[in-house]
Amino acid sequence: MAQSDTNDSIALETVKSRNDAVEGRGESLENTHNGHEEDTVPDLPPIDRGRAAWRMLFSAFIFEALLWGFPLSFGVFQNYYSRLPQYANQPYVSVVGTVASGISYMGAPLIIPLLKRLGRYRTSIIWVGWSMCIVGVLASSFARNLPTIIFTQGVMYGVGFTLFYYPILGMVNELWVARRGMAYGILCASSGLSGVVMPVTPEALLEKFGLSTTLRSVAIGIAILTGPLIPFLKGRTTISPQQQRQPTTAPTPTPTPHTDWSFLHVPLFWIYTLSNLMQGLGYFFPSLYLPSYAATTMGMGSRRGALLLSVMSVAQVLGQFSFGYLSDRRFSVNTLAVTSTLVSATAVLTLWGLARSFGLLCLFAVLYGFFGAGYTAVWARMGTNVTRDTTAAFAAFGLFNFGKGLGNVFAGPIGANLLIDDFSSSTTAHSADYGATKYKAVVLFTGSCMLASGASALTAYLKPWKAPAVRD
């Protein structure tokens, strides 16, 4: 869920937080210890270099690739669920995937303040969250009804991911400061790598072994590949149990900085919020429905559906890097947001709605993945546009995450009501129609959301908004 906007001074004095487009994910904070830590703890690892920094980044890379890659590949599972008799007529199967990823976005403004208070227990929180993810996937293999699947594979996994992911990002922030953009770029690349592999691997397992065995294999595989890395997840200010028991004469810890919420009165913040909410409402539909769209309306095999998700994932990485780079170069945030949404809307309403071949669907996956994912790469710059206070910019970023997650959660039930029940007639009879009839409303809704998001972002040009000065 890391998103690589390498930008802007969101690094805080005692709470350093940063996160950008890693397909939605959220933002993390640096653990808050006293401001004289380097004087009292002389053996801190170096910043932006050294074995500890690279070991931490490598471990975070693996966690990001595997544990965020699983919910991103849910379109493959949804396609499989829709072919099972007990779930074939269940319109809310898509809720499972959107709940898992949506909670991870929406949890950002909730978990970050908690970590500020419980920073020394980060490793324990990581163990709890990691265990919830593994148990959630494992338990879903025994589920026999949709509500149980939503709870285990959706809610449990989403809460678990939120608990372990943000402490890890906080540790990365501590060890990577001047080169944080590069670090987040590497994490973003891990999401793209998993986006290529994860949809294909479960699809092959599902076809050969079935649902239950596949889910158990995924749970065991993730546990084996990530569990041994947890002891290596150490931030620069991590305190060992021995140090916690030792008396210290260190100065009183510096109080947590007060968040200046005055940006809530800045009209530009609400312009960005509305644009972000509308973008979030429509963004997830292609990744949810492309595999089943290709399979049920165009007669393509499930492997081609999984391949479409892989192509989209690669394009998302390139888009996040590109938009993040332009944002770093002080390219207009408003222009980037408008470009992202309007190009995405055009791709949806034309290429997806009119696609009649695998090649056109691939082209759509490339364009939508590149421009759609690029939107979240400018969140951090949006935060610094509405406030000059670093702590407040961090809070604004968390609210943008929440808005994206809100759209993610609603995408499942909205999509279920938008699908046109067309099972009574021949699929091929309607494959030449716009959106292949069954998905027409989904295509139109997605495109409309992107257009609304772009229109909202355009209003930012109506007045030269300026961020208010930092309050003393």
- Which of the listed ranges 17-21, 96-100, 360-364, 418-422 does the model predict with the highest average pLDDT? 360-364
Over range 417-435, report the average pLDDT: 57
Q: Would residue 31 count as lying in a domain?
A: no
> Does 248 map to a domain?
no
Over residues 61-80, mean pLDDT: 84
Query: Does residue 448 or residue 201 have the better pLDDT?
Result: 448
11 confidence band (pLDDT: 50, 70, 90): very low
Q: pLDDT at position 129, please?
A: 95
In a domain, 227, yes or no: yes
DSSP state of 18: B
Residue with tokens 């072919």, as numbered in its chain: 83
Domain that holds residue 79: 37-241+257-462
Question: What pLDDT score does 301 carry?
Answer: 72
pLDDT-derived band of residue 194, with 50, 70 and 90 as boundaries? confident
Query: Would the pLDDT of 470 be above 70?
Result: no
Per-residue pLDDT for 235 more than 90?
no
More confident position, 35 or 48: 48
**Dist CA 347 CA 359 (whole Å):** 14
Q: How many CB atoms lie within 10 A of CB 131?
A: 15
Average pLDDT score, the chain: 78
pLDDT value, residue 216: 95
Q: Please, which residues have CB within 8 angstroms of residue 326's CB and are 6 or more apart in sequence? A: 336
pLDDT at 402: 86
Q: Tell me the sheet residues that pair with 18.
A: 28
The CATH number of whichever domain residue 265 belongs to comes to 1.20.1250.20
Per-residue DSSP letter, 227: G
Q: What is the pLDDT of residue 340?
A: 95
Over the stretch 371-381, which tens digit does the pLDDT of each residue have?
998 898 888 77
Alpha-carbon span 182 to 6, nearest angstrom = 7
Q: Which of 322-326, 343-347, 441-445 has the lowest mean pLDDT?
A: 322-326
Residue of 1 and 23 predicted with greater confidence: 1
Contacts (Cβ under 8 Å, ≥6 apart) of 42: none
- pLDDT recorded at residue 182: 67
CA distances for 458 relative to 5, 248, 272, angstroms:
21, 55, 10
- For 322-349, b/e burial (b = at least 16 CB within 10 A) is bbbbbbbeeebbbebbbbbbbbbbbbbb
- Range 81-85, long-range pairs (CB < 8 A, 24+ positions): 81/211, 82/292, 82/296, 84/211
Q: Which of 85-99, 148-162, 179-193 has the lowest mean pLDDT?
A: 179-193
Instruction: Give dist(CA 419, CA 438) in Å, integer.
Output: 6
In the structure, what pLDDT confidence band is assigned to residue 466 with cuts at 50, 70 and 90? Answer: low
Q: Which of 305, 301, 297 is nearest to 422 (CA)?
A: 297
pLDDT for 251-286, tens place per residue? 444 455 566 778 888 889 999 999 999 999 999 889
Angle at 196 between CA 26 and CA 407, to 5 degrees: 35
| E strand spans, 95-242 | none
Kindly state whether residue 469 falls inside one of the protein's structural domains.
no
Residues contacting 241, CB < 8 A, separation 6+? none
3 state SS of 28: strand
pLDDT at position 224 is 95
pLDDT at position 158 is 92
Round to whole Å and give the CA distance between 390 and 396: 10
Q: Is residue 13 part of a domain?
A: no
Backbone conformation region of residue 72, classed left if phi is above 0, alpha if psi is from -120 to 50, else beta: alpha
**pLDDT value, residue 468:** 57
Q: At what angle do helices 333-346 and 358-374 cross, to 10 degrees?
A: 160
* 194-208, 213-227, 402-416, 428-442, range with the lowest pLDDT: 428-442
pLDDT at 368: 96
State what percent of residues in the chain have pLDDT above 90. Answer: 26
Number of folded domains that form the chain: 1
Question: Range with the lowest mean pLDDT among 73-82, 251-260, 277-286, 324-333?
Answer: 251-260
Size (the chain), residues: 472
pLDDT one-digit tens code per residue, 34-46: 333 443 445 777 8
In a domain, 30, yes or no: no
Q: Would you report the helix, strand and coil content of the chain in percent, each value rounded to 5?
A: 70, 0, 30
Q: Is residue 80 part of a domain?
A: yes
In a domain, 194, yes or no: yes
Lowest-confidence pick of 10-24, 135-149, 264-278: 10-24
Mean pLDDT of 81-86: 82
Indicate whether 343 pLDDT > 70: yes
pLDDT in tens, 262-271: 888 888 999 9
